[in-house]
Structure 1
């Protein structure tokens, strides 16, 4: 039987987990029975839709037969393993418990987060416009919010951004700069920068464990835009927006359901490690300052 493509996508212990721990619901249509176990229509459909190897099979009926044969073979192997008592092996039970946790997390994410991250046509259009721009910012980074606010007040009083940066140990050549795109994985900064006007300075903005003062210094635009281009990029844009919304929804869920963080982080140690990593990745910054 043609099992290789399915073995790569679904480890043996996953099948074992389903057979060993899941009772079949009578209301769910059954595709095939293997002993007293069943392959449900939902299981068959989900694997068929999300298995890229089946796309290489030109004939749709043949692809489904290949998948069904593979599922039956996997179930038979798993049943044989249970008969031999392999489900009692510590390693196998560890994998089964691990998969159970992952399945619960996936179910929670789908039902409580992803299903609520709707994307509107207006959001897609706005994202399309942003995808045609690159926004260049100079920035100053702070560990302390009050220090960041003090420096921002100095800027409001007329101190030049570059002059302030020099007081912080930078030169015009080493002043931190970054290009912000639609897909930049810094949601607070990305959102703020795309609302700024050229040469505007943004008040201290928290991202992660740090505070940033941002100055928008350049906007590079791609003038080519069309309805066809928009339609072509829609799926990609929707993916970016949905991912960002999901992260925001998850953050709100945590804040709502966990009034106190169910973990502790040694902030000073974390920031020290972050600085060490930064020095390793960007040694030129350390040398120039």
Structure 2
């Protein structure tokens, strides 16, 4: 996986070089990416409402939507701790077992959160399809624990990735736009929004007491070196001309578990500057399960 990922990265770089030498006459598409924390798609009760808020946040372009202080609030946040991107087979949040006691009743049945790379693509007057979308993620720890990728052709229109078509006003990102949520992935669209691919550490402890669950959460990242960086980059690939039309990237900065984390800035300010589940309950085991 690691050597293959590096090869893909080199291929993307080569494509970008070719694009620079032969820029299209029209404005290139733009890809905005937001690092945000999503409820565990595998069982967290807040997932569907968070997903809907995240898609609305991407459509509006500020990558923030919903009610603050709730598990379904979607907000870009680059500065996190390992517990923020840990999912579990038991109730947890931010690396803490028994989240109802720790954070309130609204979080009692959550199964952790994972880091996703939210997505908004504007064709800038030119159409494209989700079949052209590729993605790669990596982390700068020695074992590249969070690395994974998807080649073009891997993504589809669904309830997590919506194609956007201009409405009768001829302007993208307005109220009369329509959405593509199914069918062939080579349908052309004017824009695209998505909750994004992502990754998390994962803790499991079947039939365990709360103290044992907490020990599993503590152990799952104990072999990692923090701080570390985890990033994801999307690209649109033009197979006819064998080049990348556009790329977009976002980074998570993962501090040590005891370090202070600043409040997230607004995404408008941040713009100026998956999901794989990686990990184990024990240091000598690592489980992985990719989520697009």
Greater RCO structure (CA 8 Å; 6+ sep): 2
Do the structures match in fold with TM over 0.5? no
Higher radius of gyration, 1 or 2: 1
Q: TM-score, normalised by structure 1?
A: 0.23
Q: TM-score, normalised by structure 2?
A: 0.23
Q: Which of the two has greater helix per residue?
A: 1
